[in-house]
Amino acid sequence: MATETSRPFSPGRLVIYTLLVLCAFYYLAPLYVMLTTSVKSLDEIRSGNLLDFPLHPSFSAWKKAWGAACTGVRCEGLAPYFWNSVKMAVPAVLISTLIGSINGYVLAHWKFKGSEIVFTALMVGCFIPFQVVILPMARLLGIAELANTTGGLIFVHIVYGVAFTTLFFRNYYISVPDELVKAARIDGAGFFRIYRSVILPLSVPIFMVCFIWQFTQIWNDFLFGVVFGGTDAQPVTVALNNLVNTSTGVTEYNVNMAAAIIAALPTLLIYLLAGKYFVRGLTAGAVKG
């Protein structure tokens, strides 16, 4: 009896794979254009077609895009702002994820009076637009003397991200059997001992989800960076905007494309290296028990 695996080139499967390949080409075409344009000279860009392969590849545009710093109103490179984003994103991701993990653990297995109200309030926080919190956050950062600093941006992203991480962890920890927690309590384990010995070993998938989610949101943020970041604390997204929109009389498409790829590389690499864990983490808590 023939099985599905014995007919790998059936008409239906061939149609599916053809559509998948076409979709892949469609979505990868902009990336191809960006990569090829970034290694072309301006003369080759003006005289050729966007899809043409570079005849004389050069990484001079990449060097100029990475650059050094900004002088006056002209941005000469992304390097210092790239590292600003690293210094901002890494601690904000780690702290907001850890707080969300503890919050989710409490809301899932240590119910208290009003816990559902707290959880509902946090869910509402997930849907508050960025623009709504700008004025109160600016006032708070001013009082705390964190305005226009990297520390201020870290604080902003932690506060805004805790609602999301708490939601993710709470929904995931609901799938952890209550019997495990109760058994640990009977054995005399306290709050943090249960968290460290029972909950954390089961949390790797959801930690990966939150790491990827938070890093992507924080790294790609522009609004908070341009509003709360001072001249020396602006993230790479703001510097990219300044670089592309600086008027010099000649639009350097190769430099702009190289700068856009540099700004996007960290999130692309994270998804390439840990994308499968992201999918597993999202589905791991879908069924309780």
Tell me: do 280 and 209 sit in the same domain. yes
| Cβ-Cβ contacts under 8 Å for 172 (sequence gap 6 or more) | 104, 203, 205, 206, 281, 284, 285
Tell me: do 126 and 30 sit in the same domain. no
pLDDT of residue 179: 85
H/E stretch holding 74: strand 74-75
Reported pTM: 0.83
- Residue 114 located in a structural domain: yes
Tell me: do 221 and 111 sit in the same domain. yes
Tell me: do 165 and 192 sit in the same domain. yes
Q: Can you give the CATH number for the domain in which 197 is found?
A: 1.10.3720.10
pLDDT of residue 273: 82
Tell me: do 134 and 269 sit in the same domain. yes
Torsion, Cα of 56, 61, 63, 64 (10° steps): 150
Tell me: do 241 and 108 sit in the same domain. yes
Per-residue tokens: 282: 């999202």
Tell me: do 51 and 84 sit in the same domain. no
The span from the first CA to the last CA of the chain, in angstroms, equals 37
pLDDT of residue 251: 81
- Residue 202 located in a structural domain: yes
- Residue 118 located in a structural domain: yes
- Residue 63 located in a structural domain: no
pLDDT of residue 73: 46
Tell me: do 14 and 129 sit in the same domain. no
Tell me: do 81 and 49 sit in the same domain. no
| Cβ-Cβ contacts under 8 Å for 178 (sequence gap 6 or more) | 109
Tell me: do 148 and 241 sit in the same domain. yes
Show pLDDT as tens, one digit a residue, over the chain (289 residues): 444 455 556 778 888 999 999 999 999 999 999 999 999 988 888 887 888 888 888 899 999 899 844 444 444 688 999 999 999 999 999 999 999 999 999 988 888 888 888 888 888 888 888 888 888 899 999 998 888 899 999 999 999 899 999 999 998 998 888 888 888 888 888 888 888 888 888 888 899 889 999 999 999 999 999 998 888 889 999 999 888 887 566 788 889 999 999 999 999 888 888 777 776 666 665 544 4
Domain that holds residue 11: 4-58
